[in-house]
Amino acid sequence: MKADRSHRRQRWYRFLAACVLACAMPCALATECIVPAKPGGGMDASCKLLRRAMQEEGSKEAFKLAYLPGGIGAVAWSSVVSQRRGGPDTLVAFSGGSLLSLAQGKYGRADVGDVRWVAGIGIDHGMIAVRSDAPWRNLKQLLETIRKDPAAVTVGLSGTVGSQDWLKMALLAQQAGFTPKQFRFVALEGGGDSFAALQAGHVQVISGDTSEAAYFIAEGKVRILAVLSEQRLPGPLQAIPTAREQGYDVVWPIIRGFYMSPHAPEADYRRWVRYFDRALADPAFDRQRSIGGLQPFAMTGKPLSDYIAQTVARYRRQSQELGLVR
C-alpha cells in the first residue's frame, strides 16, 4: 500500500514537472527587444524593423517590445549591465545618440566593453522638420528667423546640451551666423516625444532623424526642411534637399543596431551574431530596412565592437573640443 502511494506521488511529480516545462517553453522562445525610449522614435523603429524581418522569414517565436525610457538610453544600459534586465534572448536597441551619450559620460562610469555589441543594421541621418502648416519652406528661412530673434522659435530635441540632436542644431547655428547658446530648445525623451510636441504646438521645430519621420511624412503632418546626409536619400525622402545643397555643410549619419547584456551566455551571443550575419545578407531584410527609412549598413560581432570603440573615442574628442566634457 505504501509503495503504491509512493508510486502515485512520483507520477504526480513527473506530471507537474512536465506541465511546468510546457508552460515555460513559450517564454524561452520569446525574443524581447528593449526600446530605451518612449514609443515612436528611431530605436522603437529598429525593434519593429527586426520584428517585421523575423515575421517575414516565418519565425514562430513570440516577439515582445519593452519600453524602458530614461536618460536617452542610460536607464536601459544600467538595467542590463547590472543584470536587472536582459537574458539570452533580450536585445537592446542603440543609436549614434547612445554612443555620443556614452562618450560624454552621461551613462556614468560606463565603458563600451560593458555590453555585448551584436549588430549594426542600418544608417539613419539627421533632419530638421517643422509642421506642415509652418511658415518656413526651407532651411535658410528657418535659420534666418532664429538668427534675428532666437526667442521666437522653440526647437524640440532629444536630450539636453551636448546630445546629438542639440549638436545638429548647434552646427547649423554656427554656419548661420549665431552661437549655439542662442537658440531656444526643449529637452525631450526620444523622437516620439519630439514629434508629439511638434504636433501639439509645444515646439515649432524639431531636430531629429529621418527614420522617425517616415510615418508623419506619409500622413502629411510634417515638412522636412533638410536632411543631414552627403547626398539626397532614396525613397520617400528623395525630394528633400540636403543641408549642403542649401549652403550649410552639416552631415550627420547615425548608426542603428542592437546590443546584449554582458551576462548573456557566450553561446547565445554567438547565436544572435550568426542570425544577423544571415539576416543582413538577405534581400528581404534590405526591403524592411528601406521601409524603415534606413540606408544599408551591416556589421556584427567583433568588427562592430571595434567600430563602436573607435566611434565613441572620436565622439569624446569632438565633445572635448566643443567644451562639452573635460
326 residues of the chain, pLDDT tens digit each: 544 555 555 554 444 444 433 333 334 468 999 999 989 888 999 999 999 999 998 888 899 999 999 888 999 999 999 988 889 999 999 999 999 999 999 998 899 999 999 999 999 999 999 999 999 999 999 999 999 999 899 999 988 888 999 999 999 999 999 988 889 999 988 788 899 999 999 999 999 999 888 777 777 889 999 999 999 998 788 899 999 999 999 999 999 999 999 999 999 999 999 999 999 999 999 998 988 889 999 999 999 999 999 999 999 998 888 788 87
CA separation for the pair 279, 188 (Å, rounded): 33
Distance CA 196, CA 203 (A): 9
Which pLDDT value is given to residue 218? 74
**With b meaning 16 or more CB within 10 Å and e meaning fewer, what string describes 90-123?**
bbbbbbbbbbbbbbbebbeebebebbbbbbbbbb
DSSP states of 168-234: HHHHHHHHHTS-GGGSEEEEESSHHHHHHHHHHTS-SEEEEEHHHHHHHHHTT-EEEEEEESSSPPS
Give the pLDDT confidence score for residue 308 in this predicted structure: 97
- At 83 the pLDDT is 86
pLDDT score, position 24: 33
Looking at residue 22, its pLDDT comes to 37
Q: What is the pLDDT of residue 5?
A: 53
The architecture in CATH of the region 25-124+254-321 reads 3-Layer(aba) Sandwich (3.40)
Residue whose C-alpha is closest to residue 138's, from 130, 148, 146, 150 = 130
In 3D space, the residue among 31, 94, 18, 41 whose CA is nearest the CA of residue 62 turns out to be: 31
Burial class (CB in 10 A: 0-12, 13-18, 19+), 228: buried
Looking at residue 23, its pLDDT comes to 38
C-alpha to C-alpha distance for 156 and 164, rounded to whole angstroms: 12
Q: How far apart are alpha carbons 275 and 125 in whole angstroms?
A: 26
Q: So what's the pLDDT on residue 19?
A: 41
> Distance between terminal CA atoms of the chain?
79
CATH number of 125-253: 3.40.190.10
pLDDT of residue 221: 84
Would the CATH topology of 25-124+254-321 be identical to that of 125-253?
Answer: yes
Positions of E strands within the chain: 31-35, 63-67, 90-95, 116-131, 154-158, 184-188, 205-209, 222-228, 253-260, 299-300
Q: Yes or no: say if 210 and 124 are a contact pair by the CB < 8 Å rule.
A: yes
Domain extents in the chain: 25-124+254-321, 125-253
Left if phi > 0, otherwise alpha if psi is -120 to 50, otherwise beta: which for 323? left
CA dihedral of 164, 108, 43, 159, whole degrees rounded to 10: -40
